[in-house]
Amino acid sequence: MVAIILAAGKGTRMKSNLPKALHPICGKPLTRYVIDACRESGIEECIVVIGHGAEEVQAALGNDVKYAVQQEQRGTGDACRAALGLLDGCEGSVMVLAGDVPLLDPAALRELAEEQAASGMAATMLTTVLPDGGHYGRVIRAADDTVEKIVEAKDATPSELAVGEINAAIYCFNLPLLRKYIDELTPANAQGEYYLTDVIGLMVADGHKVGAKISADPNIVLGVNNRVDLSYLTDVVRRKILDRLMLSGITVIDPSTTYVDEDVEVGMDTVLHPMTVLEKGCKIGKNCTIGPSSRLAGAVVEDGAAVLFSNVVESTGGEGCKIGPFAHIRPGCTLGKNVKLGNFVEAKNSEIEESVSVGHLSYIGDTRIGRRTNIGAGTITCNYDGYKKHHTEIGQDAFVGSNNTLVAPVKVGDGSLTAAGSVITRDVPADSLAIARSEEVIKIGWARRRREQKDTQ
């Protein structure tokens, strides 16, 4: 079985510079959902029809499908015809789907294909019944309950508009008949387009039969035409993802404020607290505590990690690491086992080995910190001289005092100690003490004398 997926349209109603096909739902482009549903249903080959933003769409959707280009967007019928060129010489049936109907159910697609094969009809479609059909095409049935035609909302009479059964743009066609009637389409309608839906009416008018199966679940056939539709389906997908996680042993304290992208993996007994956002590419281990109020994107944290009120991007955290509250972990950080990055710590492009503690108010950039080293509160690595980024190397079992300024490139050796308030500009050899601050001067009795002087004035 082959599927043609129509995704050449601009998506005018989205009012966006991004082609509609690429608008993401839970981190995955709309049309990629359609492709994945086809794959899961056993359809071997997908032909995606692209046009508006073709290059961008093709790059984002991947190369496990074939592409046909519709040069000018002249309607769904014209788009489908653009794909038929790739099926020359093929017979049998073809599935035709819209790239903006993302929640297709693979089982429903399989059943549709089976029904089409068993009935021998010219086409079989999947429809649903809505309380208000809105902008969807209406399915007009003949006396024998087969489909007579589809009428677009813009072309419908009031009595046709009152029909609750809508066209979901999920069709299984007899391929030779589709080829024949698609050439007979004309743009004589309200939108001046070649409607794929008119193929159905042409087939029936010529004595062929078209069947329709009604889906009991309207969500699986709903389309995205504007951002209200997008948010509605995003919510459906979001709840599905959370249900799947909860059923696999993850506690989601407040599903209404938890956002997890489609490809995210979470291990058993992890607890997701309110206001947690896990974006594309996250892998969370077992027994972790994430949130409240944390956003992780492309982040991997291993078993037992805790992230509290923090932002973690494209970085990894080892077993038992503790991040936050209020930490900002920017791309390129690797935190070893049991690392602690505490409150108001920012880190970027740094390798922080196991059991290191950066407890409070620090900036760690382009740095490597060896095992068990403690970084005192308020320590800053000065990695940028206004032109270039420089590296800081801090050895293992070192102790960097509070409020240090490490001017990169600079090294602090294994087992060394730097005094609080130091500005370190030269390398500190292993096991040494570096004090880089002005010496304290004490004037005994000075304060009392000043007080007495002021009091007598």
Binding region for Ca ion (CB under 5 A) out of 64-72, 96-104, 289-297, 437-445: 96-104
Looking at the Cβ atoms of 60 and 436, the one nearer to ligand UD1 is: 60
- Binding residues for Ca ion restricted to 119-148, rule: CB under 5 A: none
124 bridge partner residues: 172, 211
393 bridge partner residues: 368, 411
Shortest distance (Å) from residue 59 CB to Ca ion: 23
Shortest distance (Å) from residue 100 CB to Ca ion: 5
CA distance 277 to 261: 8
Sign of the CA dihedral running 73, 75, 80, 82:
negative
Strand pairing report for 123-129 and 165-174:
antiparallel
Does residue 193 touch Ca ion according to CB under 5 A? no
172 bridge partner residues: 95, 124
Does residue 223 touch Ca ion according to CB under 5 A? yes
Q: Binds 70, which of Ca ion, ligand UD1, none (CB < 5 to 8 A, cut-off by type)?
A: ligand UD1
In this structure, which long-range contacts are made by residues 188-194, counting pairs with CB atoms below 8 Å and at least 24 apart in sequence?
A: 189/152, 189/154, 189/155, 190/152, 190/154, 190/155, 191/75, 191/152, 191/154, 193/74, 193/75, 193/76, 193/77, 193/78, 194/74, 194/75, 194/76, 194/77, 194/78, 194/81
Q: Can you tell me whether residue 38 is helix, strand or coil?
A: helix
Shortest distance (Å) from residue 279 CB to ligand UD1: 25
Sign of the CA dihedral running 28, 29, 34, 38:
negative
Q: Can you tell me whether residue 60 is helix, strand or coil?
A: helix
Q: Which residues bind ligand UD1 (CB under 6 A)?
A: 6-9, 49, 70, 73-76, 78-79, 98-101, 136-137, 150, 152, 166-169, 195-197, 223, 225
Structure tokens at 173: 């066609």
Looking at the Cβ atoms of 223 and 267, the one nearer to ligand UD1 is: 223
Q: Binds 196, which of Ca ion, ligand UD1, none (CB < 5 to 8 A, cut-off by type)?
A: ligand UD1
Q: Binds 49, which of Ca ion, ligand UD1, none (CB < 5 to 8 A, cut-off by type)?
A: ligand UD1
Task: Choose the catalytic residue: 23, 52, 273, 360.
Answer: 360
Residue 390 annotated in active site: no
Longest dimension (CA), the chain: 116
Looking at the Cβ atoms of 40 and 229, the one nearer to Ca ion is: 229
Looking at the Cβ atoms of 166 and 352, the one nearer to ligand UD1 is: 166
Tell me the residue number closest to Ca ion, measured at CB.
Answer: 223
Question: Applying CB under 5 A, which of residues 78, 100, 160, 261 lies at the interface with Ca ion?
Answer: 100
Does residue 152 touch Ca ion according to CB under 5 A? no
CA distance 143 to 127: 18
Binding region for Ca ion (CB under 5 A) out of 118-126, 223-231, 338-346, 440-448: 223-231
Looking at the Cβ atoms of 187 and 409, the one nearer to ligand UD1 is: 187
- Which amino acids are annotated catalytic? 360
Interacting residues with Ca ion (CB under 5 A): 100, 223, 225
